[in-house]
């Protein structure tokens, strides 16, 4: 008599980033996320005056509460496990060692899986958010690739032959904290440093830069598409207005964006030159909202810098956008957890 294959199990999946916390459900081995609930993250972006440790406590309380609510939602089958994509570098045993976009400066190491499992009574799998997102594309990308998220901050992971290239202590894949501007008054980064790539080329960094440019060149700002939506006040420029103006070919907005993307182009050139990866996928709210404008301006800067041995056509062909949704981490962490369900502990291809 032929044995029946076990029924795929239901997972509750969560993705907590610097701006938004998403919690939904996914069937193990599948790629369709459903019943997704979205709330604003109770972290640095919302309560920036609080100390890092207090913010970390708030973030974990919110994460636990929202996952518990999803587990208790009526009409849903029981979940066999919980899988969490977390915005921060972590060790191979699932301890988050920093949360720059979530709580800013130093706080206690956070064993996310252990804390959640103790509250929820289920196996909990956890991975860094960009690690999780990379797993969404691992089955469809035929060659090694670098996935980079450009949203509240910047993070990256290189996926090669079924593995994320990083180390067990949480190092690797944090190009958002690469120092690109050594000036003492360089743009501040959430980690407490200055002049990091994420402080300049992320959504928050680019917004900081365009506001500064508007204050420094009031005439150019006044004649730009940003003046109307902001009421002529540089500090009132929003990311939404900035993205819309850049996509509409507003000169002031596009040139400010171009300046912000220059160090990101340098990062791509360095990665290509150092390890030879020729596929760069970009996800994250800021990059995806800009769409082709992001690829065009980043490509312009990458061509200007140059990639050793490649012509312009080959250089631009290295850049691509991921799927235009915000489910990258939810799908990826679901697929990663499904692959590790026989190991009921935290999983991480670290950082």
Tokens of 89: 């570098």
- Note whether 35 and 107 are same-domain residues: yes
Q: Is residue 152 part of a domain?
A: no
146 in any annotated domain: no
Claim to verify: residue 190 and residue 313 sit in the same structural domain: yes
Residues 17 and 101 in one domain: yes
Q: What is the CATH number of the domain that holds 303?
A: 3.30.420.40
d(CA 100, CA 9): 34
Give the pairing of strands 20-27 and 10-16. antiparallel
Query: CA 34: distance to chain centroid?
Result: 21
Domain count within the chain: 2
Three-state SS annotation for the chain: CCCCCCCCCEEEEEEECCCEEEEEEEECCCCCCEEEEEEECCCCCCCCCCCHHHHHHHHHHHHHHHHHHHHCCCCCCCCCEEEEEECCCECCCCEECCCCCCCCCCCCCEEHHHHHHHHHCCCEEEEEHHHHHHHHHHCCCCCCEEEEEECCCEEEEEEECCEECCCCCCCCCCHHHCECCCCCCCCECCCCCECEHHHHHCHHHHHHHHHHHHHHCHHHHHCCCCCCCCCCCHHHCCHHHHHHHHHCCCHHHHHHHHHHHHHHHHHHHHHHHHHCCCCEEEECHHHHHHCHHHHHHHHHHHHHHCCCCCCHHHHHHCEEECCCCCCHHHHHHHHHHHHCCCCCCCCCCCC
Domain co-membership, 311 together with 196: yes
| Same domain as 335, residue 298 | no
Say how far apart CA 133 and CA 279 lie, in whole Å.
15
Q: What is the pLDDT of residues 189-225, one digit of tens each?
A: 888 899 999 999 999 999 999 999 999 999 999 999 9
Residue 112 within any structural domain of the chain? yes
Are 110 and 196 within one domain?
no
Q: Are 124 and 231 part of one and the same domain?
A: no
| 269 and 187 in a common domain | yes
| Nearest in space to 349 (alpha carbons), one of 161, 116, 72 | 161
CA neighbours closer than 13 Å in the CB half-sphere of residue 228? 6
Q: What is the pTM of this model?
A: 0.80
Together in a domain, 96 and 76: yes
Phi and psi at 300, nearest 5°, equal: -55, -50
Query: Is the CB of residue 28 less than 8 Å from the CB of residue 337?
Result: yes
Per-residue pLDDT of the chain (351 residues; tens, 9 = 90+): 333 334 457 899 999 988 899 999 998 767 788 899 999 999 998 998 999 999 999 999 999 999 999 999 998 889 999 999 998 888 878 899 999 889 998 999 999 999 999 999 999 999 988 888 888 898 788 899 999 999 888 989 898 877 777 777 667 778 999 999 999 999 998 888 999 999 999 999 999 999 999 999 999 999 999 999 999 999 999 999 999 999 999 999 999 999 999 999 999 999 999 999 999 999 989 999 999 999 999 999 999 999 999 999 999 999 999 998 888 889 999 988 887 775 444 444 334
Q: Give the structural domain span for 44.
A: 10-129+327-339
């Amino acid at each position: 008599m032929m044995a029946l294959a076990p029924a795929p199990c239901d997972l509750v999946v969560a993705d907590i980033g610097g701006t938004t916390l998403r919690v939904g459900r996914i069937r193990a081995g599948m790629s369709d996320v459903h019943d997704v609930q979205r709330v604003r993250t109770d972290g640095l972006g919302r309560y920036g005056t609080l100390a890092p440790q207090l913010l970390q406590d708030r973030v974990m309380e919110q994460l636990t509460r929202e996952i518990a609510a999803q587990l208790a939602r009526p009409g849903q089958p029981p979940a066999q496990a919980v899988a969490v994509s977390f915005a921060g570098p972590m060790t191979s045993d699932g301890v988050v060692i920093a949360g720059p976009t979530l709580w800013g400066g130093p706080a206690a190491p956070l064993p996310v899986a252990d804390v959640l499992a103790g509250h929820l009574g289920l196996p909990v799998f956890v991975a860094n958010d960009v690690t999780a997102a990379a797993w969404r594309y691992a089955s469809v990308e035929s060659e090694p690739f670098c996935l980079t998220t450009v949203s509240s901050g910047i993070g990256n992971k290189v996926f090669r032959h079924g593995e994320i290239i990083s180390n067990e202590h949480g190092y690797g894949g944090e190009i958002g904290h690469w120092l690109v501007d050594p000036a003492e008054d360089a743009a501040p980064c959430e980690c407490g440093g200055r002049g990091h790539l994420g402080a300049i080329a992320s959504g928050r960094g680019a917004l900081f830069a365009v506001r500064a440019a508007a204050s420094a060149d009031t005439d150019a700002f006044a004649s730009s598409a940003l003046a109307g939506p902001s009421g002529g006040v540089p500090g009132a420029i929003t990311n939404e207005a900035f993205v819309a103006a850049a996509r509409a070919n507003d000169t002031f907005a596009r040139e400010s964006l171009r300046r912000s993307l220059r160090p990101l182009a340098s990062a791509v050139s360095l990665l290509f030159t150092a390890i030879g990866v020729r596929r760069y996928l970009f996800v994250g709210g800021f990059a995806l909202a800009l769409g082709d404008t992001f690829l065009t301006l980043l490509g312009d800067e990458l061509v200007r810098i140059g990639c050793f041995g490649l012509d312009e056509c080959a250089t631009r062909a290295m850049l691509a956008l991921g799927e235009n949704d915000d489910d990258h981490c939810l799908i990826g962490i679901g697929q990663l957890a499904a692959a590790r369900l026989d190991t009921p502990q935290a999983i991480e291809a670290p950082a």
